Amino acid sequence: MPEARPVSIVTSGPLGLTLAETDAAALLIRDAVPPTPAYRWPVLCERLGVDLTLKHENHTPLGAFKVRGGLTYVAALRKRAPHVTHLVCATRGNHGQSVAFAASRAGLRATIVAPAGNSAEKNAAMRALGAELIEHGRDFDEAKAHAAHLLATDASAEFVPSYHPDLVVGVATYARELFAAGEFDVVYVPVGLGSGISGVIAVRDLLGLQTEIVGVVSERFPAYARSFARGEPIETESAATIADGIAVRVPDPVALAVIRAGAARIVTVSDDAIRQAMRWIFTDTHNVAEGAGAAAVAAIASERERLHGKRVAAILSGGNVDAEVFAAVLA
């Protein structure tokens, strides 16, 4: 195998990315993250009445797609800013795990800010990966603001945002794997801050496919849905949701531009629909999906009539749900 090289992407408009760069990213990532499967589960297809394939990002070593972006971000960082030895980020869990994992592999220090009351098991995972964890704020956006303050006194530190070109090139590798696995008319993608759906849009366009891409958000955090409709970022209020991985109330303007240019629409789903999808995924495939991970299946269930006769894929973006929460969902 050729030696993996640090990768970055050259921005051209809202998002610049080449297939060569995604292939280089795949080589870099492969040492830590094997390609994840894309399975068609007959019982789930029969239940929904949809020809559905799940892309199992819950099968990565950290249980979510974010690990891919952390690896490419840190590789690019070490090339462009070798003086940085301390990474700081804000997270509800999966982004933080990816930063902690990549930082540890590179010998860097990581400090992660999560909102108060965040998933206990995600917090434990971040600590186990060697990160210093700070709980602060009501939600992701308040945690993010606090993380920014931590940088003021440390010249060796860099903030790792949840949306950045060097993250997108990494997470785009799951889209490369998906489109290599089959042809799809529609792909449903959960939207947190937008790196996952941006990667899917970029790879779709680079391959010259006509696949329709649909974003999915929680109806309790509809910022991207409202912003998509309005054409400008719209901030929404904080709320409680089972889908903490997509609980974002302040859209990233670059991500929004990519999504508006490349997605067909954004669908909102209720917490009840997400819980139902989590149950279906478990009973029909014996996979565990966190709330954000099940959101795409919930959206497909709501749009099943328009999907008749189409080949559909859903991104099961992660499976990191606390045991107590999942037990309550199954009950």
Q: What is the pLDDT of residues 111-164, one digit of tens each?
A: 999 999 888 999 999 999 999 999 999 888 888 888 888 887 788 999 999 999
**Residue given tokens 């999906």 in the structure block:** 289
User: What's the 3-state SS for 248-275?
Assistant: CCCCCHHHHHHHHHHCCEEEEECHHHHH
**Ramachandran assignment for 137, one of left (phi > 0), alpha (psi -120 to 50 degrees), beta (any other):** left
Point out the least confidently predicted range of 85-89, 151-155, 162-166, 311-315: 151-155
Tokens coding 37: 């499967």
CATH architecture of the domain covering 66-159: 3-Layer(aba) Sandwich (3.40)
To the nearest 10 degrees (0 to 180), the angle between helices 195-206 and 253-262 is: 40
Q: What is the DSSP letter of 16?
A: -
Question: What is the pLDDT at residue 1?
Answer: 33
| Tokens 């799809």 found at | 184
Residue 50's φ and ψ, nearest 5 degrees, are -135, 140
β-sheet bridge partners, residue 186? 212, 312
* pLDDT tens string 276-291: 999 999 999 999 999 9
pLDDT of residue 313: 98
CB burial of 188-211 (b: ≥16 within 10 Å; e: otherwise) equals bbbbbbbbbbbbbbbbbebeeeeb
How many Cβ atoms from other residues are within 10 Å of residue 116's Cβ?
11
Query: Using 50, 70 and 90 to split pLDDT, how confident is the model at 15?
Result: low
Burial class (CB in 10 A: 0-12, 13-18, 19+), 102: buried
* Distance from C-alpha of 304 to C-alpha of 283, rounded to nearest angstrom: 19
> What's the chain's Rg over C-alpha atoms?
18
Cα 47 to chain centroid, rounded: 26
- 104: its two tokens: 């540890």
Q: Which two tokens stand for residue 289?
A: 């999906």
Helix (H, G, I), strand (E, B) or coil at 109: strand
Query: How do residues 186-236 score in pLDDT, each as one tens digit?
Result: 999 999 999 999 999 999 999 999 999 999 999 999 999 999 999 999 999
Domain boundaries, given as residue ranges, for the chain: 29-65+165-330, 66-159
Q: What is the CATH number of domain 29-65+165-330?
A: 3.40.50.1100
Contact present, 322 and 245 (Cβ < 8 Å) = no
**What's the pLDDT score for residue 6?**
36
